[in-house]
């Protein structure tokens, strides 16, 4: 049993468990599943300002902060006890492309060529940590949801704006991956 858990989990096990978050959160507390709202609540709780967008009682939405605290803990458990940070067996095609782009480290979830502290004060670090993070936060709030709120909850509840959102997530990601990332990886 434990050795089975140590292996990477296949999509047909992981996907349904992730999808169960939608009905589970409705049933345990009438909450629509979504993660990016937590970033908004962190702003409302931690950055004092009179901005109307952040002037609401974030404590009423604190369930979301408990949920993401759970995700952090879950990440730790998965890597500390279940081999969660082992090498990722990516397809040979993707590996070849990334090798050509100069990625050399394939030993863990993220390549150390990019996501390590040595890159902190480089252009590469600035683009991948700071700018990338900014786009994730700004974009998800502008779109009023992320992969969880739109692509999982929104699609599961058959809402067409979420389908538009999902198509735009993919379109933005595809253009970036194919036309912009090759240049960014040269930094």
Residue 142 interacts with another protein (CB under 8 A)? yes
Residue 94 interacts with another protein (CB under 8 A)? yes
- Tell me which of 2, 47, 48, 186 binds another protein, using CB under 8 A: 47
CB of 84 to another protein, least distance (A): 4
Residue 107 interacts with another protein (CB under 8 A)? no
Nearer to another protein, 77 or 102 (CB): 77
CB of 83 to another protein, least distance (A): 8
Residue 100 interacts with another protein (CB under 8 A)? no
DSSP secondary structure string for all residues of the chain: -HHHHHSPPPHHHHHHHHHTHHHHHHHHHS----STHHHHHHHHHHS----GGG-S-GGGGTHHHHHHHHHHHHHHHHHHHS-TTSPP---HHHHHHHHHTT----SSSS-TTTSSGGGTTSHHHIIIIIIHHHHHHHHHHHTT--IIIIIIIIHHTT-HHHHHHHHHHHHHHHHIIIIIHHHHTT-
Residue 48 interacts with another protein (CB under 8 A)? no
Identify the CA nearest to 5 among candidates 65, 68, 82: 82
Residue 23 interacts with another protein (CB under 8 A)? yes
Residue 168 interacts with another protein (CB under 8 A)? yes
Quote the longest CA-to-CA distance of the chain. Answer: 53
Residue 143 interacts with another protein (CB under 8 A)? yes
- Tell me which of 3, 91, 121, 186 binds another protein, using CB under 8 A: 91
Applying CB under 8 A, what is the total number of residues that bind another protein?
131
Residue 2 interacts with another protein (CB under 8 A)? no
Residue 124 interacts with another protein (CB under 8 A)? no
């Amino acid at each position: 049993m434990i050795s089975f858990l140590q292996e990477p989990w296949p999509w047909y096990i992981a996907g349904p468990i992730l999808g169960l978050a939608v009905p589970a959160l409705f049933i345990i507390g009438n909450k629509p599943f979504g993660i990016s709202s937590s970033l908004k609540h962190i702003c409302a709780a931690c950055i004092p300002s009179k901005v109307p967008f952040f002037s609401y009682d974030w404590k009423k939405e604190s369930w979301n902060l408990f949920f993401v605290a759970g995700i952090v803990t879950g990440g730790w458990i998965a890597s500390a006890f279940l081999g969660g940070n082992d090498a990722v067996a990516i397809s040979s095609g993707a590996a070849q492309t990334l090798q050509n782009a100069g990625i050399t480290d394939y030993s863990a979830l993220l390549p150390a060529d990019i996501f390590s502290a040595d890159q902190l004060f480089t252009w590469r670090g600035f683009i991948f940590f700071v700018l990338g993070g900014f786009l994730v936060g700004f974009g998800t709030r502008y779109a009023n949801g992320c992969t969880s709120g739109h692509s999982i909850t929104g699609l599961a509840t058959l809402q067409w704006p979420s389908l538009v959102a999902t198509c735009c997530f993919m379109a933005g990601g595809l253009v970036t991956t194919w036309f912009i990332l090759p240049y960014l990886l040269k930094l």
